Amino acid sequence: MGSVVFYFFAFAALACAVIVVTSRHIVRSVAALFVCMAAMAGIYFFLSAPFIGAMQLMIYAGGITVLLIFAVMLVRRAAGGQVEHASRNPGGAIVVVIGFVGWMAPAAWMAFGPRQMPPVEPRVAGVESLADDLIRHYVPAFEIASVLLLVAMIGAVVLTLRAKQREGPPTDDE
Amino acid sequence: MGFMLGDILESLGQPVGLRHCLVFAALLFAVGLYGVLTRRNAIGILMALELMLNAVNANLVAFWRYGPGPREALNGQVFAVFVITMAAAEAAVGLAIILALFRLRRTVNADEVNLLKG
């Protein structure tokens, strides 16, 4: 039963990922990315990491997809309708990808035997102990991550504002 | 040679193990890699990049779940949280750069932007 759940979500995620990278319509790509992220959240729930699954749903499926849709809409309207979304020289990329899979997948397959899933206490998998770990052992990384988010936020605002100023007609009074 | 198609088909009936998760993550990473290599649209490249980051996250959580001691440490989950944070920051800055670039050059095609070309 558990295997069926895993294979369902894994197949859904892979199929949607293929649509994301091959579709000719960018909006269709974004929609497929949304479904792919939701399926990945299902896999995290299956692996008894519910907090990661919830974060996945909120940040990836909720936040990043909406951000991408906004970017697509802004670019699309300014470009006058259709955005070019075709692929380029897929031959070489297919060779690279087949090389990667042919190298990684057998290595991963042979390195780890058919190991059963160890039982996890509900308390261990829960949010409480994760928060405990995060605040107790990983405080510097936690703080650096918050500073990184702040810098990224300011950086995004500065980038878009500066471009808007430069876009205006050139003036001599500088 | 332990990696045969029949072997894989046989293992589909077995309970899901670490190697199933790893092969799934490798396939997802490969799909993302294909997208990064073939897309001309910068937004498409960013989407494929998100797929690759997700594959990494799946690996981290799988290694935590099947690792030696899921009771002792939640290291894999903590790493996954930080990767998600990084991905959010990266998406915000990346899309801001793409929009700024679009205002400057009127295109989001990665191969038409050659400002650094000497």
B83 touches chain A (CB under 8 A): no
Q: Do B32 and A88 touch (CB under 8 A)?
A: no
CATH number for the domain spanning B88: value is 1.10.287.3510
Report chain B residues whose CB lies below 8 A from the CB of A63.
Answer: 88
> Does some domain include residue B47?
yes
- Asked if B80 and A138 touch (Cβ cutoff 8 Å), the reply is no
Half-sphere exposure of A165 (CA within 13 A, CB side): 6
DSSP state at residue A168: S
pLDDT of residue A73: 86
Report chain A residues whose CB lies below 8 A from the CB of B14.
Answer: 3, 114
State the DSSP H helix or E strand holding residue A23, giving kind and residue range, or none if neither.
none
Q: Do B65 and A160 touch (CB under 8 A)?
A: no
> Does some domain include residue B116?
no
B103 → closest Cβ in A112, A124, A163 = A163
> Does some domain include residue B86?
yes
* B-contacting residues in A 104-133 (Cβ below 8 Å): 104-106, 108-118, 120-121, 124-125, 129-130, 133
Counts of helices then strands in chain A (DSSP H, E): 8, 0
Q: Where are the domains of chain A?
A: 1-87
- Among 1.10.10.10, 3.30.230.10, 3.40.630.10, 1.20.120.1200, name the CATH number for the domain at A1-87: 1.20.120.1200
The rounded mean pLDDT for chain A is 82
- Asked if B61 and B77 touch (Cβ cutoff 8 Å), the reply is yes
pLDDT of residue A173: 47
- Which are the contacts of A2, defined by CB distance < 8 A and separation ≥ 6? A46, A117, B15, B16
> Does some domain include residue B1?
no
Confidence (pTM): 0.86
Compute the distance between CA of residue B87 and CA of residue B23 in angstroms, rounded to an integer: 22
Domain that holds residue B32: 14-105
Q: Show the 3-state SS of A151-167.
A: HHHHHHHHHHHHHHHHH
The answer, yes or no, to whether residue A163 has pLDDT greater than 60, is no
> Does some domain include residue B99?
yes
Report chain B residues whose CB lies below 8 A from the CB of A21.
Answer: 31-32, 34-35, 38-39, 44, 47-48, 51
Q: Which residues of chain B have pLDDT under 50?
A: 1
At A110-143, the pLDDT tens digits run 877 766 666 666 556 678 778 888 888 889 989 9
B41 → closest Cβ in A83, A134, A152 = A83
> Does some domain include residue B65?
yes
Complete DSSP assignment for B53-79: HHHHHHHHHHHHHHSS-TTT--HHHHH
> Does some domain include residue B80?
yes
Q: Which residues lie across from B109 on neighbouring strands?
A: B41
- Asked if A14 and B20 touch (Cβ cutoff 8 Å), the reply is no
Compute the distance between CA of residue B82 and CA of residue B7 in angstroms, rounded to an integer: 36
ipTM of the prediction:
0.85
Q: Which residue has the higher pLDDT, A16 or B2?
A: A16
Please state the domain count of chain B: 1
